[in-house]
Homo-oligomer: A and B are copies of this chain.
Amino acid sequence: MGNGHWIQRVCVVGFAVLLCAAGASAQEQPRLNLMPWPANLQTGSGSLRIDSSFSVALTGHTEARLDRAAQRFLRQLSRQTAIPLSGRASAKPTLSVHTDQASKEVQELGEDESYALSITADGAQIEAPTPLGAMHGLQTFLQLVEVSPDGFAAPAVTIQDKPRFPWRGLMIDVARHFIPLDVLKRNLDGMEAVKMNVFHWHLSENQGFRVESKKFPKLQTMGSDGLYYTQDEIRDLIAYAHDRGIRVVPEFDMPGHSTAWFVGHPELASGPGPYEIERKWGVFDPAMDPTNEKTYKFLDEFVGEMTKLFPDHYFHIGGDEVNGKQWDANPKIQEFKKSHNLATNEALQAYFSERIQKIVTKHGKAVVGWDEVFIPGVPKDIVIQSWRGQESLARAAALGYHGILSNGYYLDLGWSAARHYVGDPMSGPAASLTPEQQQLILGGESCMWAEYVNAENIDSRIWPRNVAIAERLWSPQNVTDVASMYARLHAVSTQLEWLGLTHRTYYPQMLRRIAGPGANPEQLTALRTLADAVEPVKDYTRGATAPAEATSATPLNRVVDAVPLESDVARRFAEQVDRLASSSCRDAAAAAQLRAQLSAWRDNDARLQPLAQRSFLVKEVAATSQDLSAVAAVGLAALDFAAKGGAAPDDWKAQQLTVIEQVQKPKAQLLLMPAPAIQKLVEAVAAGGSCAAPK
């Protein structure tokens, strides 16, 4: 750290706030809504009041980026509080930010991102070796600002913080659905807020080629439906990211996932053209011809152009999911395999990978690729991005290769934040690596694949769950308390709203579209009640159960597109069921809350049905609505048994479990999330007077 010494810690606080201030009781102490949780934190007493005189001063190393960061900070602080802040420096600034020295002109992997933040009732200081740390400190400050009985304030606190991993990324697929630049920018704002530092830009796919190439303009003019980023826009986005301490790693997926390239350049493909932009989802046959020297000549020129456009040291070449069918069907390629002793298509892909890696290296960059590009023996400066799992990551590290983890961090699979949260790059096989080998594991990236997202709902598919991954990659490994995570996630989600992210606002708006503008408030409430209780089917079930005619032009306007990927209502309901069960069904408050919720669900279907008759989008979920009523009735019956005491009869239990099994079958690609908790309730009351959940 730049300032060289730390104030001595009175107490160290992990993921939950311990009490340091004398006289403060647990009830009085506000929870700190920091996420990712800092490496070291101690609370003090008192708080720093935020009012219109708030000002920031920058000392030490200065640069325009820091000025902009301070302006952005003030704007954001003003949004959070609605206090107009001119930020004009007064004699004594409220917050002083000292930066020791510049960071690298092009942000590099592993630069010092540490910072120290100290807040007292009199003022606040951030000290950081580089602008990267200074900017992180500003974000931490923003998260600390809370409403208090006397006004807005930031609690007294001393923080020394640095990241656990140097590579903390978010990948966005802008190819399957095009994502406009302004949407990407607000997601970069979100990344900055949670200290992620790599934007991995998945730019080409079967369904679209999204970058302007001046050397090969047919790539975008024929491969994108006109939906691509100009080079000026790309430079603009890179500058925007750099301002926020975020590297931009471009990905051009090769040799598979490349149909869109072949629309303008069929000569690159392994099968005969002509090609059209792919409109369906899945893994497709077209792949580049790895046996044609013209392919490498083209890629050399193309990579030369793109490595100039994208300044980051890393260049992602994809490499995933080549099914080999075009290679098998092409006699020339079969001939080449024989003559080059390439026994398998994997070996042929390894040959391609080696050639393309040499091209990337020649242009001064290092390669990132998905699991498939890793063949022992490739040059050591490659970074393996593991979508397959921690085993492959650990295996590569054991052989001396860098890796980042994405398995477990696929945001499109619809997992809960808690499920993402347990995934750790250092867990599983990686835990057994030597410390030197562990150093090779650089971090991870969450991935937003875009089959079912567009500009309207993408924020909600990334946020807030992505913050749990951001914390995993930044905070100490022992920060794992799920209840604390959810409490803080809820708060940080509000902070993300002030950045302009639409992960909350999109939802009532999409529901109003589904209901139609003529729906009355009661009907809208009924639709919301149902929608709040469901989640889209998980993993790849949606694609697997999609109608045959689904394409990239299919409107994303269904309930499955509108509902959040994680139901807060169902999670809280399950918590109440656990409370009731763990009290041997004696917790009257929990029972009353459950009864109120179950009654609302049971009665909801009658309110929703008029809408179902008017809107095809509501009609699609009419059966799910009936299921919710039915399963709620089961839960209410269980509560009745619990109220009476004594075990529910076995045949009753069997009947209820049949109902629950029925409603758990996905309908309209939706899962009825309260069902498992209601099953628990049934099993608890069937277990008798003790009402203990069997588990």
Contact = CB atoms under 8 A, between A and B. Distances in A.
Interface of A: 30-31, 33, 52, 80-84, 86, 146-151, 225, 456, 487, 490-492, 494-495, 497-498, 504-505, 508-510, 512-518, 520-521, 553, 555-557, 561, 568, 572, 613-617, 619
A510 B614 CA distance: 33
A279 to B, nearest CB: 11
Contacts of A517: 33, 146, 490-492, 494-495
Nearest to A78: B555
Most buried by B among A505, A515, A619: A505
Contacts of A30: 518, 614
Nearest to A516: B147
Given A491-B518, A518-B33, A149 B613 contact: yes
How many copies of the polypeptide does the oligomer hold? 2
Nearest to A593: B522
Contact of A82 (B81, B84, B557): B557
A461 to B, nearest CB: 15
A82 B513 contact: yes
Contacts of A487: 518
A511 B225 CA distance: 42
A495 B30 CA distance: 41
B84 A555 contact: yes
A520 B33 CA distance: 13
Contact of A555 (B83, B515, B568): B83
Contacts of A497: 509, 512
A577 B184 CA distance: 50
25 contacts: A31-B518, A81-B557, A82-B555, A82-B557, A83-B557, A84-B553, A146-B516, A146-B517, A146-B518, A147-B513, A147-B515, A147-B516, A147-B617, A148-B615, A149-B613, A149-B614, A149-B615, A149-B616, A490-B517, A492-B517, A494-B512, A494-B517, A498-B509, A521-B568, A521-B572
A268 B17 CA distance: 61
B456 A513 contact: no
B616 A148 contact: yes
A542 B197 CA distance: 47
Nearest to A556: B82
A224 to B, nearest CB: 13
Given A30-B614, A149-B616, A492-B517, 4 more contacts: A83-B555, A147-B614, A148-B614, A151-B616
Nearest to A572: B521
